[in-house]
Structures are given as C-alpha cells and as structure tokens.
Chain A
C-alpha cells in the first residue's frame, strides 16, 4: 500500500471522492508505516485506534455528500497542541502525563473539516530548539542522510517530529508551530514545505505557549498546495485568543494561479551574511532566476536592522517564556517533586529543576534576567524598540516589493550532537527566519535544491501581513521551477 503514502493531500482528496480508496485504507497505510518509523522517534504518542475511528467517520461523511478538503486525510499533530483526551507533553517531562480536557482551536478546526489524527509528534521541549535534540522523549532523526553516509542528522526544530513525519511519509501533512523558525527551518532540513502564517491568523488557544507574541501555528506538508489546503482549514478568528485577528479566511489554494508576472520580489542585502556556504548563496541566486523567468521583477532592498534580529529574539522570546512557563510549578497538574525541605520553595525548585530540561532552564534564566529590575530597560525594553525597527524595515520594504526571497537556513541538516554544546551556534540556525517572526509576517520554506551531500535546502518567501496569498502563489512558482522531487531513502524500515 506504499503507493497510497506517495499521495499528496490534494491528490488524496480527489481520489477519496472518486472512490479509488477509502480514508480507512489511506489511514491504515500510514499507521502501518508508523511502526518501522519508530526508529526515527517521530511520535511521542501514537493514536492509531482513534485514527481509524476518525477515518471511518470521514468515509461516512464523504459518502454522504460534499465534504471539506481535509476529510479523511491522516495528519500528525505537534505535541504542543492540546488534544482532548490525548496526552499532550510539549516534549517535556513537566507534562509527561498531562491529558488535556480540551482541544486546541487549530486542531479542532482540522477535525471539524474531517481530518484524521495519527498521533502527537516529538518536538524540542516547549518548542525551544532548532534540532529537536531538546526533547525529554529523545531526539528525532532526520529521514535524510548525506549521500553514502549512515550518520544520523537532526530534522531541525522545534517541529522536528512533524517535519520528519511528512518527509518519511508517515503522515500526509502535519501541524507545527513557529516562534522563530520552528516550522520553516525543519521544513528546509527535511525537504518539506513549511508555512508560518501571519501572527494572529491562527488561534493560539490550546497551544502550549512558548513566546506569546511570536508563537504561530502552521502546516508542514509535501507541497505548497497541501500547505494552502491545511492553512485554509486551520485559520480562523477566535474570540478566545485576544491576539487573533477578525478577518475572513480566503481559499488559499485558489491563490496558486502560477502567475507572478509583474510581482516585485525583494532581495535583502543584509541576508548575505558572513560565512554563508556558497551552495546556499548559489541556491538563492537560482531562486531569483526562477522567479525572474516567471515574469517577476527582482528588487534589491535593505532591511538595515537584520543583524539585530537574533539578539532581539533571544531577549523577547525567553522573557515571555520565563513568565509563560511559571505555571508549571507542580501545584495543580504535571510533574511534581516535593523536594527535601518540605517547603513550597523546595517543591518549586525540585519540580522545576527536574521537570525542565537544560535548554528550557537556560531560557527561563535568560528571560528572568532580562526582565529583572535594573536590566529591564537595557535588555527587554531595548529589544522591544529594536523589534519595532525591524518591523518598520519590513513595512518600508513592502512599499516597493510584494514578497521577499531569502534562504531559509544558513546550512543543510547537521549531525546529531554537532551543535548541542554550543547554544549560540544553534541559535544561528534561525538567523533568516527570526526577522519575519519578530515582525509577525507570513513566511514559507520551499525545498529548492540539495547540498553537495545531497541534503535538502530550502528557500524562504516572506510576505506582507495577511498576504499569505502572494506568499503561496510565489512559493508555488518557485516549487514548480525547482522541481524538487527527491525523497529520503527508506533506511529505517529494515523490512523494505
């Protein structure tokens, strides 16, 4: 049945309606693939039984008449999204046994459209990381390996499990979340499409918070069309999220006209950073050429505050995280360790000292520090001001261009453990994705080529706020021109 797993969402949508196969068959094919893929440690929780029940319901719905595009499509859900009755860990020991009594708005939207849940995917703890090595449940392995190598690579992060699920074809699409690049960077590392919508496009209700002013849900899929289909379902205004924006949700798939004639594409000079591998630079130039061939106009632009984006992000995000994660105190739910002294402080220290991993603790400490009396103005307040400058850079640039083209990440996927000892090197992974996050803008990563070692590389398109349609349209053109159809060897399945 492996051919069913080759289908993209849009193809399966049509096949299901033609009766070529059922959702149950489609779902079963993916469930079957999940067992060997355990080698990759993609899922924290598999929900095969529930998936089959949902698939059968979808089949009934399909039989009954017109149904939404996602009806019967098996998806993987990042374990950051609360799922009613299904364990939700955020990749942390702190929530190892946490079972929500509620469903996140974004996943509820998917289920309302008939999608099928295969399981909850592994991730960096509380979405903090760029390699998925910070999970309490162990690292996720990238389905990709360098040509001729048996070394394991990271899938990127924090949505590493979701990206690997799509790349390894154990899910047709996956829900991810992006705070500073957590959808786009793993998509680039795994040869998948990752779309981070405009801040406020998708509800954050029921999504475990990392950095509230940056967190945004988005899809990881095999192609741009599938990402558009998923976003159309996920996006909604939600009165339960005060930062959600009340604005109609267009049919994003309809944006894929393939026509970008006259589109102005900005090429930001500041993204040509020191030490960027030549193959990334070459891919970027190739991307320009593809878009130009399709009738778009390349416009050199300047985003002068780009170099401050990463330091700004690593102040703002930890500051918010230090406060958002204060609720994990062992009092009401989640991991609790009483500690030795018997006092409330002892319990806090023991619970949080053991319940959180090293990276989470590091960011809580950074965040606490930058908000402390005497440091607030120098760090947090300054960072907020710089953030405004960065957003202003983009605003000005979008007066003369429609979208911006950049690489997604400064390198291809790297080896497990290669950067885990050096947090700064790890943070540098997000250098191209963080600015758009700080400005709240939509961005997409499209697989556009391969490194000398045969690993996928991605290009990013950034758009105006709430102009996902231009982003999707130009990404579609880029994707078609790149013709990236390489898939990782199925090395993890010894039966194959």
Chain B
C-alpha cells in the first residue's frame, strides 16, 4: 500500500478512503501600522507597548482603514492570479473573549477584497497541480492571552490586537498531506516574494487552519473537521495524517464525524476537540457601521500590479529556459527570492569573469550555490541575506577553479576559510600561496623524484597493479602540499609510467 502522506489514500479495514483537505492560511500583512489604527506592528516588543486607543477599544474610538494593508492584499491577490474586487465590505464578527477588546473582530465576510484564483504546486513525482483559491479577505488579529504568567490569572498582550491578517482560503482541492504541505510552502514563497507577509511560521506571522474530511473514492464530500492554528508545514502534514486516520476509524466503527473545531498537539501528535457544537458561536456578522464599503479604482490595481516582482513560477521557468537548469535546481533556487537574486548576481559575475555565456556556467554555479553555499548556510543557520560570502566573491572563487588556479579540493578549503572569515578567495589564495601547480615541467621533476624514491611501488605497477597509480598521485600531491593540479598529475604520471 502506498504512503498516505503522498497518495492521500488511507487503507481502511473495509477499503480505501480518500482525504480531502482545504486550507485557510492566516498571513500577517507586512505594514508599518495596524489594519485600523496607527499602532506599530513590530514583533517581540514589550507586551502592550504597541497598543493604540483603537486597539484597546476605548469608548468612542473608531477604525480607519490603513491603505497600505489594502495595497498588500491586492498585490497578494494579483500574485495568486485572483479576481480583485473593487468593492468590498468589512463586517463585524461578534464574540466575547478577553483578548478581543472590541467584542468583535472586523473581518470581511460576504464581500471579500479578493475572489477566486489559483496556485500551481509541484509534486514529488514531477507533475504539477493547480489548487483553487476561494478568496482572500482582510481581518484584524486578536490579542494574545497568556495563561502561564500567574497561577490564577490570565494576562493579555494587545500588541497583536488589530494587526492586519490576510486569510487565504483554498478550495478543497488538496488530496494528500504532501499536497497540503506543498501548497502551504508555495503560498509562503509567493507572499515572501512580493513582500506582503514574512511567512514566518515560528513567530506566528503565518498559520493555517486545516479542514480535513475523508470519503470513499468517487463519493461526495464527507463531514469536515477544522484543525485550528497549526504553525508549521510539518505539523500541518502530521495533523492531516492523524485526523484523516481518526475519521476513518470512526466511520469504519459505524460512527459519524461531528462538524467540529479541533486543536493539533504536536507533542502527542494528535488532534483534540477544541469546542463542541453546543459551544459553537453565532458570530452575528453584520457590516461594520463605522466603516464605509471599501472601494478603489483600476488605477490602484494597476499601481499594485506594477509593484510586483517576477513571481516564482515565471522565474523558475526562465531559469530552466534561459540557463538550462534542471527543474530541481530551478525549483530550489527560486523557492526564495533572495536565493534567486543571489544566484543571478553570482551567475552574471561569473559570466563576466569567465567571458563565457551565462548558460555555459549556469549549472556549475547552481550546483555550487545549492551544494556548498546552502549546505554551509543551513549548518550555520544563517539566512542567505546574511551570507558571509557575497555573490560576487562566490563567482570569484568559482572562476579561480575554472581558470585552473585552484583545484576543486583547494576550492573547498578556501571556501571554508571565506565562510569563516568573510575574506575574498583571492586574498586567501595570495596569503597562503595557494596556487595550483599546473606547470608540467615543474610537476615532471617532482614526479621523477617520486618514482625514483619508490622503486618497490614502481615494480608493483609495472607488474600490473594499476591501483598503485593512486599512490603516486597522492605522493605528488603531498610533495606539492596539495597544490598540484590533479588532472595534470594524472596525465603526466600515465605518460611516464607507460613510457
């Protein structure tokens, strides 16, 4: 049986079940100020230090729409290829909670700012799939209740209260945990590209509500459960696997699935009911009378569109077509805009240094960025934006290999040094005298000496023990302190030994 994580199929006692998944992604809008107030939005500030009178819902305070948040929502909608609604309405979603100062959340309900769209996700088997977006709407975040600060009391931090969120609602088009993961990552990539959300799930600036149901193949949709506030791609996938299996167990035991809200517990790896149907809220949505309907014109949309960078799908296609990169390399390099920018800068520099067309050095550059650079960055937990080795210096290093100054082996050592010290390859090469010896005259002298010094091994080789060649190469490298060009050494040795 296939793995349900990628197949989306669960093998039950009575046959196969399909998983149907829809995601509601809450993405915090990047803006200086909150959705309806001028308070700052910086993460990690002292509790209750970024709270305006509006955010605290003081008597007589009124919301005013922050234009920048609207612009970001429109940009995101455009990046999702979605319909932009020039007329939208902010509603009030009424419920009581200690961290909801107004007693209602201002959110778009019936008339969202962005309508249907789609994103394309790449699957592991190399195929791709379009996932429908139902809508994107703007809403206020609530504050944060802190239950762990005092034995009997709950503390409330309102810094987050009123921050703009985009809720991106997918259609139930996702049919496996892997697809859900790929979709979430894709949305994160897109919003990061366009700078409308930092996509930082650890800090809570992006989180997902996951709707899961199961059904027999070919049947209509089953009853879904909503798993609230899952805050990593891995947890989303784990939660789906657990929840779908749970539902299959319930159904196969003759039970029915209750429409309910559940929480995912990453420690236990399970979902648990959050509130039962009896406690279900009647949110009493109605248009917020403090706000006029939101209207903007085509010009506003055009300006938002003009501000969009090249989007990841287009960039990936261009990397494949223009640079001849493999789909894998193109995918990895374009997953983050900074990586793609770094790569393109390096490639341009390398092409200039080498005098070769970019396409000729592109794959070599891609392999180095993905292998050496990303490897080191990951190990050191450093973002590419903070890479101690700049794109230009990376290109210089690669060129030193290509022009024969450094061997691949030496290049790795030099790169270690560059990464640790932040110095350039040429500085390090000059300082340590790390010039690869490719001069055949110089190397021939050394080879002659090595052969003369090791008559026993020479005897063995001549007796047909080809492996001894490696020994000689090693001796030559040792004699040159690793600076000999291995390719030239191999050629010269082969010639000498034959002769």
Contact = CB atoms under 8 A, between A and B. Distances in A.
Given A327-B101, A331-B98, A205 B62 contact: yes
B257 interface: no
A90 B59 contact: yes
Interface in B263-309: 282, 284-286, 288-292
A333 B51 CA distance: 15
B103 interface: yes
B215 to A, nearest CB: 27
A104 interface: yes
Interface string B340-382: 0000000000000000000000000000000000000000000
A140 to B, nearest CB: 21
Interface in B34-68: 53, 56-65
Contacts of B65: 242
A82 B92 CA distance: 24
B111 to A, nearest CB: 14
A98 interface: yes
B136 to A, nearest CB: 22
A101 B57 CA distance: 13
Given A319-B286, A323-B104, A376-B286, A100 B58 contact: yes
Given A371-B286, A376-B286, A326 B59 contact: no
Q: Which of A88, A204, A319, A323 has the most CB of B within 10 A?
A: A323
Interface in A45-66: none
B291 A213 contact: no
A326 B104 contact: yes
| Contact count band on A | 35 or more
A233 to B, nearest CB: 19
Interface string A179-208: 000000000000000000000000011111
A209 B64 contact: no
A432 to B, nearest CB: 23
Contacts of A320: 289
A368 B103 CA distance: 13
B290 A212 contact: yes
B284 A372 contact: yes
Contacts of B291: 242-243
B94 A326 contact: yes
Contacts of A82: 59-60
Q: Which of A95, A101, A240, A348 has the most CB of B within 10 A?
A: A240
Contacts of A241: 62, 64
A323 B57 contact: no
Contacts of A211: 289
A206 B60 contact: yes
A492 interface: no
B102 A242 contact: no
Nearest to B96: A348
Interface centre among B64, B98, B154, B284 (most CB of A within 10 A): B284
Most central of B154, B156, B288, B290 by chain A CB within 10 Å: B290
B147 to A, nearest CB: 11
Which residue, A239, A242, A243, has most C-beta atoms of chain B within 10 A? A242
A329 interface: yes
A81 B59 CA distance: 9
Contacts of B53: 101-102
A333 B57 CA distance: 10
Contacts of B101: 327, 331-332
A102 B62 contact: no
Contacts of A376: 284, 286
A282 interface: no
Interface in B88-142: 92, 94, 96-98, 101-104
A313 interface: no
Contact of A104 (B60, B96, B288): B60
Given A368-B284, A372-B282, A323 B103 contact: yes
Contacts of B103: 323, 325-327, 329
Interface string A380-404: 1000000000000000000000000
A323 B92 contact: yes
A344 interface: yes
A204 B102 contact: no
Contacts of B285: 371
Contact of A208 (B60, B96, B156): B60
B59 A98 contact: yes
B289 A213 contact: yes
Contacts of A212: 288-290
A421 interface: no
Contact of A371 (B58, B156, B284): B284
A495 interface: no
A326 B60 contact: no
A373 interface: yes
A99 B282 CA distance: 33
Interface string A339-374: 000001100100000000000000000001001110
A445 to B, nearest CB: 25
Interface string A205-231: 111110111000000000000000000
Contacts of A332: 56-57, 101
B369 to A, nearest CB: 49
Contact of B292 (A90, A95, A240, A243): A243
B35 to A, nearest CB: 13
Nearest to B98: A331
A104 B61 CA distance: 9
A240 B64 contact: yes
A102 B61 CA distance: 10
Nearest to B59: A208
Contacts of B92: 323
Contacts of A240: 62, 64
A86 to B, nearest CB: 13
Contacts of B289: 211-213, 243, 320
A102 B289 CA distance: 22
B60 A242 contact: no
Interface in B445-484: none
Nearest to B90: A242
Given A320-B289, A326-B104, A373-B282, A331 B156 contact: yes
Of B60, B101, B156, B288, the most chain A CB neighbours within 10 A belong to: B60
A95 B104 CA distance: 20
Nearest to B54: A240
Interface in A230-255: 239-243
Nearest to A381: B286
Interface string A93-126: 0010010111010000000000000000000000
Nearest to B145: A344
Nearest to B103: A326
A329 B98 CA distance: 8
Nearest to A205: B62
A239 B63 CA distance: 10
A213 B92 CA distance: 14
Contacts of A325: 103
B341 to A, nearest CB: 38
Contacts of B282: 372-373
Nearest to A95: B59
15 contacts: A104-B60, A205-B62, A206-B61, A209-B290, A212-B290, A242-B63, A319-B286, A322-B284, A323-B94, A326-B96, A326-B103, A326-B104, A327-B57, A371-B285, A376-B284
**Interface pairs A-B: 10 shortest CB-CB:** A326-B103, A371-B284, A212-B289, A213-B289, A327-B57, A206-B60, A208-B59, A82-B60, A373-B282, A212-B290
Interface of A: 81-82, 88, 90, 95, 98, 100-102, 104, 204-209, 211-213, 239-243, 319-320, 322-323, 325-327, 329, 331-333, 344-345, 348, 368, 371-373, 376, 380
Given A205-B60, A242-B64, A331-B101, 17 more contacts: A100-B58, A104-B60, A208-B60, A212-B288, A239-B64, A243-B290, A322-B94, A322-B284, A323-B284, A325-B103, A327-B59, A327-B103, A331-B156, A332-B56, A332-B57, A344-B96, A368-B284
Interface of B: 53, 56-65, 92, 94, 96-98, 101-104, 154, 156, 282, 284-286, 288-292
